[in-house]
Structure 1
Protein backbone atom coordinates (compact mmCIF):
# COMPACT_ATOMS: atom_id res chain seq x y z
CA UNK A 1 0.00 0.00 0.00
CA UNK A 2 1.23 3.47 -0.85
CA UNK A 3 -0.08 6.63 0.79
CA UNK A 4 -0.16 9.73 -1.35
CA UNK A 5 0.53 13.15 0.16
CA UNK A 6 -1.92 15.93 -0.75
CA UNK A 7 -0.44 19.37 -1.20
CA UNK A 8 -0.32 20.84 2.27
CA UNK A 9 -1.69 24.23 3.19
CA UNK A 10 0.52 26.56 5.18
CA UNK A 11 -1.93 27.47 7.93
CA UNK A 12 -1.56 25.34 11.08
CA UNK A 13 -4.69 23.58 12.32
CA UNK A 14 -5.28 22.64 15.95
CA UNK A 15 -7.86 19.90 16.51
CA UNK A 16 -9.47 18.75 19.74
CA UNK A 17 -10.96 15.25 19.48
CA UNK A 18 -13.47 14.55 22.25
CA UNK A 19 -13.93 10.82 22.85
CA UNK A 20 -16.09 8.68 25.09
CA UNK A 21 -15.44 5.07 24.06
CA UNK A 22 -13.84 2.67 21.60
CA UNK A 23 -15.42 4.16 18.45
CA UNK A 24 -14.13 7.67 19.11
CA UNK A 25 -10.82 6.55 20.56
CA UNK A 26 -9.98 4.59 17.41
CA UNK A 27 -10.74 7.61 15.23
CA UNK A 28 -8.72 9.98 17.43
CA UNK A 29 -5.77 7.60 17.48
CA UNK A 30 -5.78 7.25 13.69
CA UNK A 31 -5.99 11.01 13.19
CA UNK A 32 -3.13 11.61 15.63
CA UNK A 33 -0.97 8.95 13.98
CA UNK A 34 -1.51 10.09 10.38
CA UNK A 35 -2.18 13.83 10.66
CA UNK A 36 -0.13 16.06 8.33
CA UNK A 37 2.77 17.97 9.89
CA UNK A 38 0.92 21.30 10.06
CA UNK A 39 -1.79 19.84 12.33
CA UNK A 40 -1.74 19.53 16.11
CA UNK A 41 -4.22 16.99 17.48
CA UNK A 42 -5.27 17.02 21.13
CA UNK A 43 -7.69 14.61 22.78
CA UNK A 44 -10.00 14.90 25.75
CA UNK A 45 -11.73 11.84 27.21
CA UNK A 46 -15.23 12.53 28.46
CA UNK A 47 -16.85 10.42 31.18
CA UNK A 48 -18.17 7.10 29.88
CA UNK A 49 -21.48 7.62 31.68
CA UNK A 50 -23.40 10.87 31.18
CA UNK A 51 -27.16 11.10 31.85
CA UNK A 52 -29.55 11.84 28.97
CA UNK A 53 -30.35 15.23 30.50
CA UNK A 54 -27.41 17.26 31.82
CA UNK A 55 -28.33 20.00 34.30
CA UNK A 56 -24.80 21.10 35.15
CA UNK A 57 -22.32 20.48 32.28
CA UNK A 58 -19.32 21.58 34.37
CA UNK A 59 -19.92 18.57 36.65
CA UNK A 60 -18.80 16.34 33.77
CA UNK A 61 -15.99 18.49 32.34
CA UNK A 62 -12.95 17.60 34.40
CA UNK A 63 -9.44 18.87 33.82
CA UNK A 64 -8.15 21.55 31.46
CA UNK A 65 -9.55 21.72 27.93
CA UNK A 66 -6.85 22.47 25.29
CA UNK A 67 -7.35 25.39 22.92
CA UNK A 68 -8.34 24.35 19.40
CA UNK A 69 -9.59 25.62 16.04
CA UNK A 70 -11.73 22.58 15.26
CA UNK A 71 -13.57 20.39 17.76
CA UNK A 72 -14.29 16.83 16.59
CA UNK A 73 -17.06 15.40 18.78
CA UNK A 74 -16.90 11.60 18.97
CA UNK A 75 -19.45 10.71 21.61
CA UNK A 76 -21.21 7.44 22.36
CA UNK A 77 -24.20 8.91 24.21
CA UNK A 78 -26.66 11.80 23.78
CA UNK A 79 -25.40 13.15 27.09
CA UNK A 80 -22.03 14.01 25.59
CA UNK A 81 -23.64 16.02 22.80
CA UNK A 82 -25.10 18.28 25.47
CA UNK A 83 -21.58 19.05 26.70
CA UNK A 84 -20.30 20.11 23.27
CA UNK A 85 -21.31 23.81 23.49
CA UNK A 86 -19.50 24.14 26.83
CA UNK A 87 -16.44 22.30 25.53
CA UNK A 88 -16.51 24.51 22.41
CA UNK A 89 -16.58 27.61 24.60
CA UNK A 90 -13.69 26.38 26.74
CA UNK A 91 -11.48 25.39 23.80
CA UNK A 92 -12.36 28.51 21.79
CA UNK A 93 -13.00 26.61 18.56
CA UNK A 94 -14.50 28.19 15.45
CA UNK A 95 -16.04 24.96 14.12
CA UNK A 96 -17.45 21.66 15.36
CA UNK A 97 -17.43 18.43 13.37
CA UNK A 98 -19.90 16.01 14.96
CA UNK A 99 -20.31 12.81 12.94
CA UNK A 100 -23.41 10.66 13.29
CA UNK A 101 -22.19 7.07 13.06
CA UNK A 102 -24.86 5.93 15.49
CA UNK A 103 -28.17 7.76 15.43
CA UNK A 104 -28.94 6.53 18.92
CA UNK A 105 -25.96 8.55 20.20
CA UNK A 106 -26.79 11.68 18.20
CA UNK A 107 -30.44 11.58 17.01
CA UNK A 108 -31.62 14.11 14.45
CA UNK A 109 -33.58 16.14 16.98
CA UNK A 110 -30.46 16.58 19.09
CA UNK A 111 -28.45 17.45 15.96
CA UNK A 112 -30.81 20.36 15.31
CA UNK A 113 -30.62 21.48 18.96
CA UNK A 114 -26.84 21.31 18.94
CA UNK A 115 -26.66 23.18 15.64
CA UNK A 116 -28.81 25.94 17.11
CA UNK A 117 -26.80 26.20 20.32
CA UNK A 118 -23.53 26.44 18.41
CA UNK A 119 -24.89 28.93 15.88
CA UNK A 120 -25.94 31.20 18.75
CA UNK A 121 -22.32 31.09 19.93
CA UNK A 122 -20.99 31.97 16.48
CA UNK A 123 -19.57 28.46 16.00
CA UNK A 124 -20.04 26.64 12.68
CA UNK A 125 -21.06 22.96 12.74
CA UNK A 126 -21.11 20.03 10.30
CA UNK A 127 -22.83 16.68 10.98
CA UNK A 128 -21.87 13.98 8.43
CA UNK A 129 -23.98 10.80 8.61
CA UNK A 130 -21.80 8.72 8.80
CA UNK A 131 -18.31 10.26 9.04
CA UNK A 132 -17.00 8.43 5.97
CA UNK A 133 -19.42 10.43 3.77
CA UNK A 134 -17.46 13.62 4.52
CA UNK A 135 -16.10 15.25 1.38
CA UNK A 136 -14.54 18.66 0.83
CA UNK A 137 -17.88 20.23 -0.16
CA UNK A 138 -20.64 17.79 0.81
CA UNK A 139 -21.71 15.33 3.48
CA UNK A 140 -24.01 12.31 3.45
CA UNK A 141 -25.22 10.22 0.52
CA UNK A 142 -28.37 10.20 -1.56
CA UNK A 143 -31.11 11.01 -0.69
CA UNK A 144 -29.83 13.36 2.05
CA UNK A 145 -26.70 14.89 0.49
CA UNK A 146 -25.94 18.33 1.97
CA UNK A 147 -23.44 20.99 0.97
CA UNK A 148 -21.44 22.84 3.61
CA UNK A 149 -19.10 25.82 3.66
CA UNK A 150 -16.55 25.56 6.44
CA UNK A 151 -12.83 25.97 5.68
CA UNK A 152 -11.70 24.15 8.84
CA UNK A 153 -13.86 21.09 8.15
CA UNK A 154 -12.79 21.25 4.50
CA UNK A 155 -9.14 21.10 5.58
CA UNK A 156 -9.94 18.07 7.74
CA UNK A 157 -11.73 16.46 4.79
CA UNK A 158 -8.66 16.80 2.56
CA UNK A 159 -7.10 14.05 4.66
CA UNK A 160 -9.90 12.13 6.40
CA UNK A 161 -13.50 11.36 5.41
CA UNK A 162 -14.97 9.69 2.35
CA UNK A 163 -12.28 7.26 1.14
CA UNK A 164 -10.40 8.04 -2.07
CA UNK A 165 -8.32 5.26 -3.60
CA UNK A 166 -6.33 4.66 -6.77
CA UNK A 167 -5.57 1.06 -7.76
CA UNK A 168 -2.83 -0.21 -10.06
CA UNK A 169 -3.75 -3.44 -11.83
CA UNK A 170 -1.30 -5.68 -13.68
CA UNK A 171 -2.42 -8.89 -15.43
CA UNK A 172 -5.86 -8.38 -13.80
CA UNK A 173 -4.36 -8.43 -10.28
CA UNK A 174 -4.25 -5.44 -7.90
CA UNK A 175 -0.56 -4.69 -7.33
CA UNK A 176 -0.68 -1.26 -5.68
CA UNK A 177 -3.23 0.85 -3.82
CA UNK A 178 -2.77 4.56 -3.27
CA UNK A 179 -4.87 6.15 -0.52
CA UNK A 180 -5.39 9.85 -1.13
CA UNK A 181 -7.99 10.24 1.63
CA UNK A 182 -8.34 7.80 4.50
CA UNK A 183 -11.43 6.98 6.49
CA UNK A 184 -11.11 8.78 9.81
CA UNK A 185 -11.10 5.43 11.60
CA UNK A 186 -8.34 4.03 9.37
CA UNK A 187 -10.52 1.55 7.51
CA UNK A 188 -9.43 2.70 4.04
CA UNK A 189 -5.78 2.01 4.88
CA UNK A 190 -6.71 -1.42 6.17
CA UNK A 191 -8.70 -2.21 3.04
CA UNK A 192 -5.93 -0.89 0.78
CA UNK A 193 -3.44 -3.27 2.38
CA UNK A 194 -5.84 -6.20 2.02
CA UNK A 195 -6.59 -5.57 -1.65
CA UNK A 196 -3.03 -6.16 -2.80
CA UNK A 197 -2.90 -9.45 -4.71
CA UNK A 198 -6.68 -9.61 -5.24
CA UNK A 199 -7.99 -10.12 -8.76
CA UNK A 200 -9.53 -6.96 -10.21
CA UNK A 201 -12.94 -8.53 -10.76
CA UNK A 202 -13.04 -9.60 -7.10
CA UNK A 203 -11.81 -6.29 -5.64
CA UNK A 204 -15.22 -4.79 -4.87
CA UNK A 205 -16.46 -7.84 -2.96
CA UNK A 206 -13.10 -8.12 -1.19
CA UNK A 207 -13.33 -4.46 -0.13
CA UNK A 208 -16.76 -5.12 1.36
CA UNK A 209 -15.49 -8.06 3.37
CA UNK A 210 -12.41 -6.17 4.56
CA UNK A 211 -14.60 -3.24 5.63
CA UNK A 212 -16.75 -5.62 7.65
CA UNK A 213 -13.77 -7.32 9.29
CA UNK A 214 -11.89 -4.10 10.13
CA UNK A 215 -14.48 -3.89 11.79
CA UNK A 216 -16.74 -0.96 10.98
CA UNK A 217 -18.33 0.33 14.20
CA UNK A 218 -21.17 2.32 12.60
CA UNK A 219 -24.70 1.46 13.68
CA UNK A 220 -26.51 -1.64 12.47
CA UNK A 221 -29.88 -0.03 13.27
CA UNK A 222 -31.97 1.13 10.31
CA UNK A 223 -31.64 4.83 9.59
CA UNK A 224 -35.06 6.20 8.62
CA UNK A 225 -33.71 8.56 5.93
CA UNK A 226 -31.42 6.06 4.22
CA UNK A 227 -33.74 3.10 4.91
CA UNK A 228 -30.55 1.19 5.53
CA UNK A 229 -28.00 0.81 8.30
CA UNK A 230 -25.18 3.32 8.64
CA UNK A 231 -22.75 0.41 8.54
CA UNK A 232 -24.05 -0.51 5.07
CA UNK A 233 -23.92 3.12 3.96
CA UNK A 234 -20.29 3.23 5.07
CA UNK A 235 -19.47 -0.02 3.31
CA UNK A 236 -21.12 1.14 0.10
CA UNK A 237 -18.99 4.32 0.09
CA UNK A 238 -15.87 2.20 0.07
CA UNK A 239 -17.13 -0.42 -2.39
CA UNK A 240 -18.22 2.23 -4.90
CA UNK A 241 -14.81 3.90 -4.65
CA UNK A 242 -13.10 0.58 -5.38
CA UNK A 243 -15.53 -0.11 -8.23
CA UNK A 244 -14.59 3.19 -9.87
CA UNK A 245 -10.91 2.47 -9.36
CA UNK A 246 -11.07 -0.90 -11.17
CA UNK A 247 -13.66 0.11 -13.77
CA UNK A 248 -11.05 0.46 -16.51
CA UNK A 249 -9.95 -3.14 -15.98
CA UNK A 250 -13.26 -4.94 -15.39
CA UNK A 251 -15.90 -5.29 -18.15
CA UNK A 252 -19.27 -3.78 -17.32
CA UNK A 253 -21.67 -6.45 -16.14
CA UNK A 254 -25.32 -6.28 -17.15
CA UNK A 255 -28.17 -8.07 -15.45
CA UNK A 256 -29.94 -10.58 -17.69
CA UNK A 257 -33.71 -10.75 -17.07
CA UNK A 258 -34.93 -14.18 -15.95
CA UNK A 259 -35.91 -16.32 -18.93
CA UNK A 260 -34.24 -14.04 -21.47
CA UNK A 261 -32.84 -15.80 -24.53
CA UNK A 262 -30.43 -14.05 -26.89
CA UNK A 263 -31.61 -13.84 -30.47
CA UNK A 264 -29.69 -15.97 -32.96
Structure 2
Protein backbone atom coordinates (compact mmCIF):
# COMPACT_ATOMS: atom_id res chain seq x y z
CA UNK A 1 0.00 0.00 0.00
CA UNK A 2 1.32 3.44 -0.95
CA UNK A 3 0.70 5.77 1.99
CA UNK A 4 -0.14 9.39 1.06
CA UNK A 5 2.23 11.94 2.58
CA UNK A 6 -0.56 13.70 4.46
CA UNK A 7 -1.76 10.45 6.03
CA UNK A 8 1.75 9.50 7.14
CA UNK A 9 2.21 12.94 8.70
CA UNK A 10 -1.06 12.61 10.61
CA UNK A 11 -0.06 9.15 11.89
CA UNK A 12 3.36 10.36 13.03
CA UNK A 13 1.87 13.47 14.66
CA UNK A 14 -0.58 11.33 16.65
CA UNK A 15 2.11 8.89 17.75
CA UNK A 16 4.53 11.68 18.71
CA UNK A 17 1.83 13.41 20.75
CA UNK A 18 0.97 10.20 22.61
CA UNK A 19 4.62 9.30 23.29
CA UNK A 20 5.52 12.79 24.52
CA UNK A 21 2.78 12.60 27.15
CA UNK A 22 4.63 9.63 28.66
CA UNK A 23 8.14 11.00 28.12
CA UNK A 24 9.52 13.60 25.69
CA UNK A 25 12.77 11.60 25.65
CA UNK A 26 11.96 7.97 24.75
CA UNK A 27 14.74 5.41 24.39
CA UNK A 28 15.47 3.43 21.23
CA UNK A 29 13.52 0.44 22.50
CA UNK A 30 10.42 2.61 22.97
CA UNK A 31 10.57 3.85 19.37
CA UNK A 32 10.96 0.28 18.14
CA UNK A 33 8.05 -1.00 20.23
CA UNK A 34 5.74 1.72 18.93
CA UNK A 35 6.76 1.13 15.30
CA UNK A 36 6.28 -2.64 15.67
CA UNK A 37 2.89 -2.21 17.34
CA UNK A 38 1.80 0.14 14.54
CA UNK A 39 2.43 -2.31 11.70
CA UNK A 40 1.12 -5.26 13.73
CA UNK A 41 -2.19 -3.51 14.34
CA UNK A 42 -2.34 -2.13 10.78
CA UNK A 43 -0.57 -4.61 8.46
CA UNK A 44 -1.36 -2.40 5.47
CA UNK A 45 1.20 0.10 6.82
CA UNK A 46 4.07 -2.36 6.46
CA UNK A 47 6.84 -1.12 4.20
CA UNK A 48 7.15 -3.13 0.98
CA UNK A 49 10.57 -4.67 0.42
CA UNK A 50 11.52 -4.30 4.09
CA UNK A 51 12.29 -7.40 6.11
CA UNK A 52 10.94 -5.98 9.35
CA UNK A 53 8.28 -3.80 7.80
CA UNK A 54 8.56 -1.10 10.47
CA UNK A 55 12.13 0.21 10.28
CA UNK A 56 11.19 3.27 8.21
CA UNK A 57 8.49 4.14 10.73
CA UNK A 58 11.10 3.86 13.48
CA UNK A 59 13.35 6.49 11.87
CA UNK A 60 10.47 8.75 10.85
CA UNK A 61 9.14 8.65 14.42
CA UNK A 62 12.52 9.66 15.86
CA UNK A 63 12.73 12.71 13.58
CA UNK A 64 9.09 13.58 14.21
CA UNK A 65 9.48 13.48 17.99
CA UNK A 66 12.62 15.64 17.73
CA UNK A 67 10.60 18.26 15.87
CA UNK A 68 7.76 17.83 18.32
CA UNK A 69 10.11 18.58 21.24
CA UNK A 70 11.02 21.89 19.58
CA UNK A 71 7.34 22.77 19.42
CA UNK A 72 6.88 21.80 23.07
CA UNK A 73 9.84 23.97 24.04
CA UNK A 74 8.43 26.93 22.12
CA UNK A 75 5.09 26.38 23.85
CA UNK A 76 6.82 26.53 27.25
CA UNK A 77 6.74 22.86 28.30
CA UNK A 78 8.97 22.85 31.43
CA UNK A 79 10.47 19.37 30.94
CA UNK A 80 11.64 20.23 27.42
CA UNK A 81 12.36 23.92 27.86
CA UNK A 82 14.82 23.20 30.68
CA UNK A 83 17.08 21.49 28.11
CA UNK A 84 17.19 24.45 25.75
CA UNK A 85 20.69 25.88 25.32
CA UNK A 86 20.70 29.65 25.48
CA UNK A 87 23.68 32.01 25.29
CA UNK A 88 26.76 30.79 27.13
CA UNK A 89 25.00 27.58 28.13
CA UNK A 90 25.02 26.53 24.48
CA UNK A 91 28.79 25.96 24.66
CA UNK A 92 28.68 23.35 27.40
CA UNK A 93 26.89 20.09 27.90
CA UNK A 94 23.41 20.68 29.31
CA UNK A 95 21.51 17.41 29.40
CA UNK A 96 18.65 17.23 31.85
CA UNK A 97 16.64 14.40 30.36
CA UNK A 98 14.52 12.52 32.83
CA UNK A 99 16.18 9.43 34.21
CA UNK A 100 14.74 5.95 33.94
CA UNK A 101 11.71 5.62 36.16
CA UNK A 102 11.19 9.33 36.72
CA UNK A 103 7.49 9.84 36.10
CA UNK A 104 7.22 13.50 37.05
CA UNK A 105 10.61 14.90 36.09
CA UNK A 106 9.63 18.53 35.56
CA UNK A 107 5.81 18.73 35.63
CA UNK A 108 3.59 21.62 34.64
CA UNK A 109 2.20 23.85 37.42
CA UNK A 110 -1.11 22.73 38.96
CA UNK A 111 -4.17 24.15 37.25
CA UNK A 112 -5.41 27.30 38.92
CA UNK A 113 -2.16 28.01 40.81
CA UNK A 114 0.00 30.91 39.68
CA UNK A 115 3.70 31.37 40.42
CA UNK A 116 2.75 33.91 43.10
CA UNK A 117 0.36 31.43 44.74
CA UNK A 118 3.05 28.74 44.91
CA UNK A 119 5.60 31.21 46.31
CA UNK A 120 3.10 32.10 49.02
CA UNK A 121 2.67 28.41 49.85
CA UNK A 122 6.45 27.99 49.93
CA UNK A 123 6.70 30.75 52.55
CA UNK A 124 3.96 29.02 54.55
CA UNK A 125 6.15 25.90 54.60
CA UNK A 126 9.06 27.93 56.00
CA UNK A 127 6.83 29.31 58.77
CA UNK A 128 5.40 25.87 59.60
CA UNK A 129 8.87 24.33 59.86
CA UNK A 130 9.79 26.84 62.58
CA UNK A 131 7.08 25.48 64.87
CA UNK A 132 7.84 23.01 67.64
CA UNK A 133 4.84 20.79 66.83
CA UNK A 134 4.68 20.39 63.08
CA UNK A 135 1.41 19.95 61.23
CA UNK A 136 2.57 17.15 58.93
CA UNK A 137 -0.73 17.04 57.07
CA UNK A 138 -0.52 20.72 56.17
CA UNK A 139 3.14 20.39 55.18
CA UNK A 140 2.28 17.43 52.94
CA UNK A 141 -0.45 19.43 51.19
CA UNK A 142 1.79 22.47 50.73
CA UNK A 143 4.70 20.37 49.44
CA UNK A 144 2.42 18.62 46.94
CA UNK A 145 1.02 21.96 45.74
CA UNK A 146 4.51 23.44 45.24
CA UNK A 147 6.08 20.34 43.65
CA UNK A 148 6.16 21.86 40.17
CA UNK A 149 7.89 25.03 41.38
CA UNK A 150 10.42 23.05 43.40
CA UNK A 151 11.33 20.75 40.51
CA UNK A 152 11.69 23.71 38.17
CA UNK A 153 14.14 25.34 40.56
CA UNK A 154 16.18 22.19 41.24
CA UNK A 155 16.30 20.88 37.67
CA UNK A 156 16.53 24.22 35.91
CA UNK A 157 18.63 26.38 38.26
CA UNK A 158 20.78 23.64 39.84
CA UNK A 159 21.01 25.45 43.22
CA UNK A 160 23.47 24.56 45.96
CA UNK A 161 22.21 22.16 48.62
CA UNK A 162 22.44 24.94 51.21
CA UNK A 163 20.12 27.11 49.13
CA UNK A 164 17.65 24.25 48.75
CA UNK A 165 17.71 23.68 52.52
CA UNK A 166 16.99 27.36 53.09
CA UNK A 167 14.12 27.61 50.60
CA UNK A 168 12.64 24.13 51.13
CA UNK A 169 13.45 23.06 54.73
CA UNK A 170 10.69 20.44 54.79
CA UNK A 171 12.38 18.52 51.98
CA UNK A 172 15.03 17.25 54.37
CA UNK A 173 12.63 15.63 56.84
CA UNK A 174 12.45 11.84 56.60
CA UNK A 175 8.72 11.95 55.92
CA UNK A 176 9.14 14.41 53.03
CA UNK A 177 12.18 12.65 51.57
CA UNK A 178 9.95 9.61 51.09
CA UNK A 179 7.06 11.74 49.84
CA UNK A 180 9.22 13.61 47.30
CA UNK A 181 10.68 10.35 46.02
CA UNK A 182 7.17 9.01 45.50
CA UNK A 183 6.09 12.20 43.71
CA UNK A 184 8.95 11.83 41.24
CA UNK A 185 8.96 8.08 40.52
CA UNK A 186 5.60 6.94 41.99
CA UNK A 187 7.40 4.38 44.18
CA UNK A 188 7.68 4.15 47.96
CA UNK A 189 11.34 4.71 48.87
CA UNK A 190 11.37 2.67 52.09
CA UNK A 191 9.51 -0.25 50.52
CA UNK A 192 11.86 -0.22 47.54
CA UNK A 193 14.89 -0.14 49.86
CA UNK A 194 13.63 -3.01 52.02
CA UNK A 195 12.80 -5.13 48.96
CA UNK A 196 16.31 -4.55 47.63
CA UNK A 197 17.76 -5.38 51.04
CA UNK A 198 15.83 -8.66 51.14
CA UNK A 199 17.51 -9.68 47.89
CA UNK A 200 20.93 -9.01 49.44
CA UNK A 201 20.30 -10.81 52.75
CA UNK A 202 21.63 -14.27 51.70
CA UNK A 203 24.90 -12.78 50.46
CA UNK A 204 25.23 -10.52 53.52
CA UNK A 205 24.75 -13.52 55.82
CA UNK A 206 27.55 -15.33 53.99
CA UNK A 207 29.86 -12.35 54.52
CA UNK A 208 28.94 -12.09 58.20
CA UNK A 209 29.46 -15.85 58.64
CA UNK A 210 32.95 -15.61 57.14
CA UNK A 211 33.83 -12.77 59.53
CA UNK A 212 32.68 -14.67 62.61
CA UNK A 213 34.64 -17.82 61.65
CA UNK A 214 37.86 -15.85 61.98
CA UNK A 215 37.06 -15.18 65.63
CA UNK A 216 36.27 -11.53 65.06
CA UNK A 217 33.08 -9.72 65.96
CA UNK A 218 31.74 -11.97 68.78
CA UNK A 219 28.65 -9.77 69.07
CA UNK A 220 27.87 -10.45 65.41
CA UNK A 221 28.25 -14.20 66.01
CA UNK A 222 25.66 -14.04 68.79
CA UNK A 223 23.22 -12.32 66.44
CA UNK A 224 23.80 -14.90 63.71
CA UNK A 225 23.23 -17.73 66.20
CA UNK A 226 19.86 -16.19 67.13
CA UNK A 227 18.95 -15.89 63.45
CA UNK A 228 19.80 -19.55 62.82
CA UNK A 229 17.73 -20.68 65.81
CA UNK A 230 14.79 -18.59 64.63
CA UNK A 231 15.03 -20.01 61.10
CA UNK A 232 15.25 -23.59 62.46
CA UNK A 233 12.24 -23.03 64.72
CA UNK A 234 10.16 -21.65 61.85
CA UNK A 235 11.13 -24.56 59.62
CA UNK A 236 10.17 -27.04 62.34
CA UNK A 237 6.80 -25.33 62.91
CA UNK A 238 6.15 -25.35 59.19
CA UNK A 239 6.97 -29.07 59.02
CA UNK A 240 4.62 -29.86 61.92
CA UNK A 241 1.85 -27.80 60.33
CA UNK A 242 2.29 -29.68 57.07
CA UNK A 243 2.07 -33.05 58.89
CA UNK A 244 -1.13 -31.99 60.66
CA UNK A 245 -2.73 -30.98 57.37
CA UNK A 246 -1.77 -34.32 55.85
CA UNK A 247 -3.42 -36.19 58.76
CA UNK A 248 -6.63 -34.25 58.24
TM surpasses 0.5? no
Specify the TM-score bucket, using the shorter chain as the normaliser: under 0.3
Q: Where is the strand percentage greater, Structure 1 or Structure 2?
A: 1
TM-score, normalised to structure 2, is 0.26
Q: Where is the helix percentage greater, Structure 1 or Structure 2?
A: 2
Higher relative contact order (CA 8 A, sep 6+): 1
Kindly name which structure, 1 or 2, has the bigger radius of gyration based on alpha carbons. 2
TM-score, normalised to structure 1, is 0.24
